[in-house]
Amino acid sequence: MVFCKSEPSAWSALSFPVWKGQNQACGSTLSPRYRQDLGSNPKFAVPAWLWRGLKFWLSASDSCLSNVRGEGNFLERCDDWGVDTMKQIQIYDGEPAKIKCPLFETFLKYNYSTAHSAGLTLIWYRIGQDRDLEEPINFRLPDNRISKEKDTLWFWPALLNDTGNYTCMLRNTTYCSKVAFPLEVVPKDQGSCVSHSIKPVEQMFYLEYANEKITCPDIDGFYPASVTPTVKWYQSCRLVDGFNERHPQGSKLVIGVVRSAYEGNYTCIVTFKDHGRTYNLTRTVKMKVVGSPNKALPPQFTSPNEKVVYELEAGDDLVLPCEVFFTFLKDSRTEVWWTIDGKNTDDIVDAKVTQSEIPRRFEDKTIIRTLTVAKATPEDLKRNYTCYARNAKGEGHSQAIVHMKVAAPKYTVELACGLGATILLVVVLIVIYHVYWLEMVLFYRAHFGTDETILDGKEYDVYVSYARNAEEEEFVLLTLRGVLENEFGYKLCIFDRDSLPGGIVTDETLSFIQKSQRLLVVLSPNYVMQGTQALLELKAGLENMASKGNIKVILVQYKVIKKSKVKELKQAKAALTIIKWKGEKSKFPKGRFWKELQLELPVKKIIRSSSPDGQEPSYVSLRNV
């Protein structure tokens, strides 16, 4: 402590401690807040004669100031803990409130009584809203609305303009320590019993526990023990009255059986009188339902497990998640860690570990701790990877099964060649089938087909219907008959050749058609003339094919028919395949015309006998037909 000595005078014997201001040293430039304390605070009241002497001393010469600056002043140092934002206090407008100086709760090792006994004084200051200067708190307001008691500041009641930063300073002439904290006075939301900006106090209750109690918090000390206040309980601002398993009992709300449906915010409003005034205290408790300790379990591993195998090739990133489920246990530590060959991953440089947490119902949770080994070597894939987990109920572990994948042989060239050859083969087969499909079908019929002419009950294989004029008759008798009977072995029924004289044409025609497996119709312009036998044959064949299905009609277009008014012929041409005769191109017995015609005819096995000289019989030449 430094004493400022003035020039010799009547006050030369007076020695007085000096506090240094921001840029000042002696009493003549003392900080305004200390001057106000000396003049207005009863604890600093001095006699009038001493106050006059003090004023004279404050006007001391500049030599005093220089001496003080030269020697230095210990009290210019004050342990300032800044603004304790963790201590932010919110109180309701119009309600009583009390706040304690946080110095004794957090920053100092002794309590207020010890400090007071040591001669330290607690001083309160505030910086109001929209203000920069710190000023002492006025404890002389009407009705003593703001007062202090030991280390507690009281508001009877708090008002909106009380919002600001409050500082409590503990000091004497040799020691100084202070801390500030924010105070916010909040109005209630319109139409609500609370303000949603004030965070409620959280209380945990075990699921399915009976006769639990929610206690209205922070109401002690506001009214004497002789006063019985009125307490009303609300859930989400709905009065608790007749609620299932929830019954108010003064400052406590009894929960018959704790259920998850009862979670939520419960508000107690305490009403009491003091000095003729009625006050309300509003407190909100958030009820949180947590898992019962009776059902708590040791750590439960989801992965890794024996059903999951991690197969990787050398050089791949090895990623191993360890997923563990923890039931709620109050004040229990939950730990998850990996070991590699029995060593903690903290001691292994190449291993990277990350952790995430997923909250579950009733404060249960799942912890996922992921181990990553970048570009794993073959040696890495042979190591032992084990995940451990622990809580207050016990400890467990689970090993990850890691195997090195054997790389499949890479036959790139072989696969490409094989695929190309397969595609080429498919294309060739498609082309061959498209060009030679007739030959392939006939080959199959000849070697594997069943002979349809055996035991079919038919006398003829084919009945030939044609127009009776010279050109069509020559085509039928020479060309068709020559190839079908001589080369293919079919038995043809030609009416003009096989009918007996004197018979009824209609009856014999129908009889011949019924005795034949196929009706071969040779179409030409003369065929469609009305009233001809050819049309009778066509109609009979189509009717038989449609009704009984024991005959099949084959259309051979000998000459083009431009237009036809015959209804039956139009229907036949629309429903049946037409085999076209192309003159000279179609005369060769192995040509496409005969193959298409043979495909429509019944399957017939042909047994060819060799000639006496060992040569195959030649086909009938149609060149001169």
Which residues participate in catalysis according to the annotation?
A: 537
Structure tokens at 574: 């629309």
Alpha carbons 484 and 463: distance in angstroms, whole number: 12
Three-state SS for 511? Answer: helix
Alpha carbons 438 and 143: distance in angstroms, whole number: 120
* CB-CB contact of 355 with 370 (8 Å): yes
First to last CA, the chain: 149
Structure tokens at 460: 């003829």
Tokens 């600001």 correspond to: 164
Alpha carbons 48 and 45: distance in angstroms, whole number: 9
Strand pairing class (201-206; 277-290):
parallel
Question: What amino acid occupies position 561?
Answer: I
Q: List CB contacts of 68: < 8 A, sequence separation 6 or more.
A: 2, 4, 18, 20, 25, 26
Three-state SS for 287? Answer: strand
Alpha carbons 516 and 495: distance in angstroms, whole number: 12
Q: List CB contacts of 488: < 8 A, sequence separation 6 or more.
A: 598, 601, 604, 606
Angle of helix 533-547 relative to helix 505-514, nearest 10 degrees, comes to 40
Beta bridge partners of 336: 389
Q: List CB contacts of 138: < 8 A, sequence separation 6 or more.
A: 146
Distances from the Cα of 432 to the Cαs of 42, 444, 541, 589, 591, in angstroms?
Answer: 121, 15, 36, 22, 17
- State the DSSP H helix or E strand holding residue 63, giving kind and residue range, or none if neither: helix 62-71
Buried-state track 219-234, b at ≥16 Cβ within 10 A, e below 16: beebbeeeeebebebb
Tokens 């579950």 correspond to: 360
| Three-state secondary structure readout of 402-469 | EEECCCCCCCHHHHHHHHHHHHHHHHHHHHHHHHHHHHHHHHHHHHHCCCCCCCCCCCEEEEEECCCC
